[in-house]
């Protein structure tokens, strides 16, 4: 049987960082009973799928995202995988039948317009979300201020639009997952005994010219980052453990002054990650990212 994994491409996805994040979990995580796992910014879900498959003591999970098209994808994969697979196979077949790049580009633009009409049923909307994710440039998800998807055509000839095995594996795993849509703070109401939060918010830009966090029409700016930190303070006050990842915005002195100051009361680790979305090839490569947690004084890390 196929292993559950992210069913879409997502900028900033955590697949490459799983081992490093795993090492920074509390050492006793596997021994905790009836864990509730919460991700307020689920994105592509790499950490979610890893945690649910690795830790059977996670008895329930809650995921949230402000992007309604994304959370609808999770709902359809969970509740209607067979119907979704049928629809994805149909659009994949139509796309493969196109013979020229110009034909494929025109088809892509037509489907992008359909998606942006916001008049589709759940299956068709999710089908086009998958299709655009597989055929747009670099698998990016970006919207303009009006909330319209505006990533250009990616010039792929035969991308895998329908991965039925992954969809079925994900659907099975998502059966114990509650899916929410909206602001991250609404997840506070889902806290139970033995709750663990993992935050992977839209990353703070590395520079004024490298911003890429247009996953929704709402901008996740520095005020939002500060609001997230205050939310973490609330969790800490009631004894709920959390882990948070973000970009490492280095200052001239070699320190991430924004996050070092913001999370001064917590443990900040740095991990290595590859970044491949910069338009300038020379600026792609391995960079550090930060990982913050509030349990360093109470538990040993798994590593």
Q: Is beta strand 177-181 parallel, antiparallel or unpaired with respect to 195-199?
A: unpaired
- Give burial (CB, 10 Å; 0-12/13-18/19+) of 11: buried
**247, containing H or E segment:** strand 241-247
Q: What is the pLDDT of residues 59-101, one digit of tens each?
A: 999 999 999 999 999 999 999 999 999 999 999 999 999 999 9
Domain with CATH 1.10.1020.10 in the chain: 74-165
Note whether 289 and 271 are within 8 A (CB): yes
Under CATH, which number does the domain 15-23+31-66+182-293 receive?
3.40.50.150
Calculate the average pLDDT of the chain: 89
Distance CA 217, CA 220 (A): 9
Q: What is the pLDDT of residues 251-261, one digit of tens each?
A: 556 665 788 88
Domain with CATH 3.40.50.150 in the chain: 15-23+31-66+182-293
Q: What is the pLDDT of residues 15-55, one digit of tens each?
A: 889 999 999 999 999 999 999 999 999 999 999 999 999 99
Under CATH, which number does the domain 74-165 receive?
1.10.1020.10
């Amino acid at each position: 049987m196929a292993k559950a994994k992210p069913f879409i491409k997502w900028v900033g996805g955590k697949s490459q960082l799983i081992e490093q994040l795993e090492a920074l979990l509390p050492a006793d995580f596997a021994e905790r009973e009836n864990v509730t796992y919460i991700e307020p910014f689920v994105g592509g879900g790499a950490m979610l799928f890893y945690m649910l498959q690795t830790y059977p003591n996670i008895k329930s999970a809650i995921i949230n995202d402000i992007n309604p098209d994304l959370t609808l994808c999770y709902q359809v994969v969970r509740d209607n995988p067979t119907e979704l697979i049928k629809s994805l196979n149909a659009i994949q077949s139509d796309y493969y039948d196109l013979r020229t790049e110009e034909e494929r580009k025109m088809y892509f633009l037509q489907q992008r317009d359909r998606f942006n009409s916001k008049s589709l049923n759940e299956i068709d909307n999710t089908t086009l979300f998958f299709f655009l994710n597989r055929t747009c440039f670099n698998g990016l998800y970006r919207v303009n201020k009006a909330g319209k998807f505006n990533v250009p055509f990616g010039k792929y000839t035969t991308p895998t639009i329908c991965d039925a095995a992954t969809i079925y594996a994900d659907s099975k795993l998502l059966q114990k997952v509650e899916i929410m849509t909206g602001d991250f703070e609404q997840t506070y109401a889902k806290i139970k005994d033995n709750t663990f939060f993992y935050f992977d918010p839209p990353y703070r830009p590395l520079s004024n010219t490298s911003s890429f966090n247009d996953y929704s029409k709402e901008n996740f700016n520095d005020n939002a980052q500060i609001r997230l930190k205050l939310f973490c303070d609330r969790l800490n006050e009631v004894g709920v453990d959390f882990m948070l990842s973000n970009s490492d915005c280095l200052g001239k002195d070699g320190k991430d002054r924004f996050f070092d100051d913001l999370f001064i009361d917590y443990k900040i680790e740095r991990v290595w990650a590859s970044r491949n979305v910069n338009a300038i090839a020379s600026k792609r490569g391995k960079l550090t990212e930060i990982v913050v947690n509030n349990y360093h004084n109470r538990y040993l890390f798994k590593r």
